[in-house]
Structure 1
Amino acid sequence: MVRTATKVHRYNAIRKQLEHDLRRAVLYEVEKIVDKVVVNGKIYYEVKWLGYDTSENTWQRPKSLKLCKSAIRDFERSLRKSTTKASRRQNRN
């Protein structure tokens, strides 16, 4: 019985801490990824934030964009398409 009460108490303490952390966390929504660079072997994406001007764009590492993998996937897909189209045009000339 004591063990169960201790587990419940521990669970409640963890839950309260998580709720507190979530209230303090500020999440910004990604509108789209607009560019990509590689610096010293590390990838950075330029992020256009939803509701913010393009002058507020920031460069972010992929690890800080874990919640928006679809935006990265869409950007990479469009990057591949534009690269393929450019090489096709170049081959025609």
Structure 2
Amino acid sequence: MNKEDIIHFLSQVSSRFFVDDDEETVRPVEIRLADEVKKAHQDWLKAQKYFECVTDPDLVDHAIFAEEAAKKKYIYLLKKAKEQGISSERP
């Protein structure tokens, strides 16, 4: 095998890791990470709204933990995207 054959083989194999089961299409890592950042931000906003609506004292702790977890996930993914030079904004 020459260099081009190896590169072609690796690109075929690696593309299988980025197939969305719902769409059956290959999506670049940059788009997937940007989508994950957006989803994490939406999840954080939902957790904040949940916290604001909770009145049962037994659920307040749950709401706090859910909001904090969602916030940490969003910050982590945002940091990871920035390190890779990926913007969550699409042209």
Q: Give TM-score scaled by structure 1 length.
A: 0.38
Which has more strand, going by share of residues? 1
Which has more helix, going by share of residues? 2
Q: Give TM-score scaled by structure 2 length.
A: 0.39
Relative contact order, higher structure (CA 8 A, sep 6+): 2
Please tell me whether Structure 1 or Structure 2 has the larger radius of gyration of its CA atoms: 1
